[in-house]
Amino acid sequence: MKTYSGPLSDHFDGTRFYDPEGTELKSFGQFLKWRLTPGRHRWPDRVPSPYSDTPPRRVPEDRIRFCFVGHASWLIQTAERNILVDPIWSERASPVSFVGPKRVNDPGIAFDALPPIDTVLVSHGHYDHFDRPTLSRLAAKFSPRVITPIGNDLAMKHADARIRAEGFDWDQRVELGSGLAVTLVRTRHWSARGPFDRNKTLWASFVLETPAGKLYLVGDSGYGGGRLFRRVRDQHGPLRLAILPIGAYEPRWFLRDQHMDPEEAVQALLDCGAEQALASHHGTFQLTDEAVDAPVEALQAALEAARLPPDRFVALRPGQVFEL
């Protein structure tokens, strides 16, 4: 497969991307140490959500409608445009259909109930965010623009030429029409889809500008002292709402640099200054050691410790809707 080539930068060395403010990635030996250490909670085979959404075809510009599809997947509707974030309708977050993390609840919107999709935002190349079968289904049915960090666009087009993928670098701003625009912003993470392509594609979060306010959409990120969240506040604020990940964080010695825990997510909300937050990246695929309900319980405790009202940072179930 063709890989990205372009000018050197403060986060690209000509072959691989890197985080100039980050830490070294864990080694394969450290990964094996984690996976061979007891302490992993066993999730139930099914944790069904009592909710299922049938979205409207369009939503006007003075409203923003969010539906939590599950894990890190969202449908955002505003300004007569429909945007999917990190969509995965597959049964597994895996390169194959017969092994790998399996979903414990159905997507909060049946695929056939989706409204016309105009734009898809894909934050990075991990299988729980960049799901090729879902992107192919979306391309066949809606042919949306797919906005993603550089390198991922090449992987998408190699997998399916119908996917209208466009790759962008950190700090690039893309006009989406109807008064919407998205800027890719730095996030503390990494990328890989196999054993030999680590960090050959870029990762990012998104700031989505809408007529009803700016949204900060974080796919995966370590907290890293909060610098990146404060930078978004300073460069892109004020923010109406942030979608922040709260799951896939145990054990901390291995995952601290790539995933926030709920306490750090609450601090990230305070750092970025968003008026409201919605929780993401929890309760659908078991990727790490914590129990299925641990992130939401820890989020409630972290909000109480920070003396924030529980409705400032809300954890939805798949199929639930939140509106501004």
pLDDT for the residue 298 = 98
Residue-wise pLDDT for 288-313, tens only, equals 999 999 999 999 999 999 999 999 99
CA–CA distances in Å: residue 144 to residues 125, 166, 242, 264: 18, 11, 24, 34
More confident residue, 146 or 36: 146
Helix (H, G, I), strand (E, B) or coil at 220: coil
* Displacement of CA 22 from its chain's centroid (Å): 19
Which residues, 6 or more positions from 161, have their beta carbon under 8 angstroms from its beta carbon?
Answer: none
Residue-wise pLDDT for 170-210, tens only, equals 999 999 999 999 999 999 999 999 888 999 999 999 999 99
Which residues, 6 or more positions from 15, have their beta carbon under 8 angstroms from its beta carbon?
Answer: 200
Q: What is the dihedral of CA 307, 313, 315, 319, to 10 degrees?
A: 150
Domains and CATH numbers, the chain: 52-323 (3.60.15.10)
pLDDT for the residue 25 = 83
Other C-beta atoms lying within 10 Å of the C-beta of residue 95:
11
Residue-wise pLDDT for 58-84, tens only, equals 999 999 999 999 999 999 999 999 999
Residue 6: pLDDT above 80? yes
Residue-wise pLDDT for 234-288, tens only, equals 999 999 999 999 999 999 999 999 999 999 999 999 999 999 999 999 999 999 9
Residue-wise pLDDT for 78-131, tens only, equals 999 999 999 999 999 999 989 999 999 999 999 999 999 999 999 999 999 999
